[in-house]
Amino acid sequence: MKAVKDVVCPFCGSLCDDIEVVLDQNKIIEVRNACNLGAVKIAGNEGGKRILQPLIKKEGKFQPVSYDEAAEKAAEILLNSDYPIFYGFGSTEAEAHKESIKLAEEVGAIWDHCPSVCHGPSIMGIQEVGLAGCTLGEIRNRSDLIIYLGCNPMEAHPRHMSRYTTFPRGYFREKGFQERTVVVIDIRYTETAKLANHFLQIEPDGDFEFISALRAIVNGRELKRESVSGIPIEKIKHLADLMKKAKHGIVFFGLGLATTKGKHRNVDAALSLVRDLNDYTKFYIMPLRGHYNVTGAQNVITWIAGYPFAVSLARGYPQYNPGEFSMANVFAEKEVDAAVIVASDPVGNSPRRVMDHFAKIPVISLDPYETPTTRLAEVVFPVTISGVESEGTAYRMDSVPIRLRKVKNGPKGILSDYQVLKKISKKYIQLKKRKVKDEIIS
Amino acid sequence: MEEINHSLEVFLTSGRTIEQGITLVGIKISEEAKKATAVCYLDPNDMEKLDLIENSNIKIKTSEGEIVVSARFSKDAPHEGIVFMPLGIYANWITPPGSAGIGVPQYKGIKAIISPTKEKISSVEELINKLTKSETNDTEIT
């Protein structure tokens, strides 16, 4: 038996890097320090359906093939499509992101990732206003006011409060939670709200109005209203006071802000509020990112193409327009005619209209496990679990890159996302050259 | 027993739960995934209005279609008029793709109508089969 220390958890955007994994030979028998979600991700669920051989669908049934045959089929699909999309990437390493963008450029495809069904409006807000950002380490050591706005980390990022924000003792917060105030603003009295010092229950779709009122009060205006978005004005005044008096404040926001009515304008308002607060004290803001490397995918596409998501490479140069090129849109509008899905399950995670189109076009899926997407796919590549069976780089929600560790060997003969994408690339380039040659001859 | 006819207009919102998060790892097509995601949390007052008890089946209808799930008492009440579903294929079955022109679906604040039903809850497998077999999807969209 051996224990591997300082393992990075590849589940959520918190990327906890203090996990200990106990192994007996190549079998994980215990995962220490992780939350329920992290432990399950690292050790696997009982009955988890791993895919152990590349598959191609023939007459509606999957048939096992070799990686080379599957890569050839995938390359053929891409070569024969007019408007393909590459999508997913939230749960794989940055090296796979890079390789996939290279291939998407070669193919002339759309390249998009999880913000398309998640924090897209947040990114658009950040592009307009800018982000007063800091690291989770700074928050742990300095923050005395933590605000969770439209998010529920106790369910989505279970160690967020205990490791980074609320409960840990920090360099300047030696008494831990006793020196910190937590405020939760939500439409429900969530598990996170139950741990807060103050809970403000907001009406659905009331975010923009509430933040605007709060911003006005922070800037010294008087409001002639008794309540805004269901929150009494006295409570809003109290929050404004708490914010201005804080030594180091942080606002975390989730989809409760970004995907409700107003969308990127809500985020715009929250970012502007934090910008205003910096006239009085140090205040920061950060989106709570779901999958562990969605921030990485955003960073990689931005440093390659200049845009954060929903990028079309169809014209040979990058174009950015979320309303036109986002996965959710091109599927709902039935525009794309082939898809490469890496480390994601858009069939399970997207609206019905998107699912419908997935069932109608050839899909190439790379996933360690069986999902609704692999079920609808025409070519399925099994892969190793990044951060458990293969290493790579991931970016934490505060954009700090952390190297994922390999804890154990993957199933025999199974390749990583990066290696599979490289194989498809090679095949695609070969086939394309052959096609060009054939066209010249004929 | 007589079929209860009354229904309730609500705001449907979806989000993460720990139970749903666990089913993301290798068991998305399973009985566990159905148990974790084919549920809808209602305020106790709303449960009473519809004469529901824990685990009664309800039908949720939106502009996109309808789905049968299990009703549960919310632990996060009071939130009368707001119902919560964990993220997953069941919630997404009735989620609109979004209309703000920014290509992001509308996961929160969806107008929905809830009514008690005797119909059974489909398994994830059955929902996937509906996707592959349905040739009339276009006409279902309103």
d(CA A197, CA A148) in angstroms, rounded, equals 12
Quote the tokens at residue B136.
């009339």
Structural domain B8-140, CATH architecture: Beta Barrel (2.40)
Q: What's the ipTM?
A: 0.94
Chain B interface, mutation test: which of A188, A194, A319, most B Cβ atoms within 10 Å?
Answer: A188
User: Which residues on chain B are in Cβ contact (under 8 Å) with A348?
Assistant: 28, 88-89, 92
Asked whether the beta carbons of B128 and A385 are under 8 A apart, the reply is: no
pLDDT digits (tens, 9 = 90+) for A158-197: 999 999 999 999 999 999 999 999 999 999 999 999 999 9
- Indicate yes or no: CB of A261 within 8 angstroms of CB of B87: no
How many CB atoms are located within 10 Å of the residue A47 CB? 10
Residue A203 distance to chain B (closest CA, Å): 9
Is B107 touching A (CB cutoff 8 A)?
A: yes
Q: What is the pLDDT of residue B90?
A: 98
pLDDT digits (tens, 9 = 90+) for A332-368: 999 999 999 999 999 999 999 999 999 999 999 999 9
- Indicate yes or no: CB of A263 within 8 angstroms of CB of B77: no
CA-wise closest residue to A165 among A189, A197, A188: A197
Residue A35 distance to chain B (closest CA, Å): 10
Closest residue on chain B to A118 (Cα): B104
Is B25 touching A (CB cutoff 8 A)?
A: yes
d(CA B87, CA B15) in angstroms, rounded, equals 5
- Indicate yes or no: CB of A188 within 8 angstroms of CB of B79: yes
User: Which residues on chain B are in Cβ contact (under 8 Å) with A375?
Assistant: 29, 128
Q: What is the pLDDT of residue B98?
A: 79
- Indicate yes or no: CB of A47 within 8 angstroms of CB of B27: yes
DSSP state of A288: -
For residues B47-63, average pLDDT: 96
Q: What is the pLDDT of residue A377?
A: 97
Q: What is the pLDDT of residue B139?
A: 36
Query: To the nearest whole number, what is the mean pLDDT of chain A?
Result: 97
Question: Phi first, then psi: what are they for A67, rounded to 5°?
Answer: -60, -40
Is B110 touching A (CB cutoff 8 A)?
A: no
Quote the tokens at residue A146.
């933590």
Q: What is the pLDDT of residue B133?
A: 82
For residues B41-55, average pLDDT: 96
Is B82 touching A (CB cutoff 8 A)?
A: yes
Closest residue on chain B to A190 (Cα): B76
CB nearest to B109's CB, from A260, A359, A376: A260
Q: Burial level of A180, CB count in 10 A (0-12/13-18/19+)?
A: buried
Is B28 touching A (CB cutoff 8 A)?
A: yes
CB nearest to B94's CB, from A191, A324, A352: A352
Tell me which of A45-54, B46-55, B96-105 is least confident.
B96-105
What pTM did the predictor assign?
0.95
CB nearest to B13's CB, from A45, A115, A187: A187
- Indicate yes or no: CB of B109 within 8 angstroms of CB of A204: yes
DSSP secondary structure string for all residues of A140-193: HHH-SEEEEES--HHHHSTTHIIIIISSS--SS-TTGGGG-EEEEEESS--HHH
d(CA B19, CA B21) in angstroms, rounded, equals 5
CB nearest to B65's CB, from A48, A326, A352: A352
Cβ-based contacts under 8 A for chains A and B:
180
Sorted by where each starts, the structural domains of chain A and their CATH numbers stand as 2-43 (no CATH), 55-118+292-441 (3.40.50.740), 120-287 (3.40.228.10)
Q: What is the pLDDT of residue B101?
A: 81
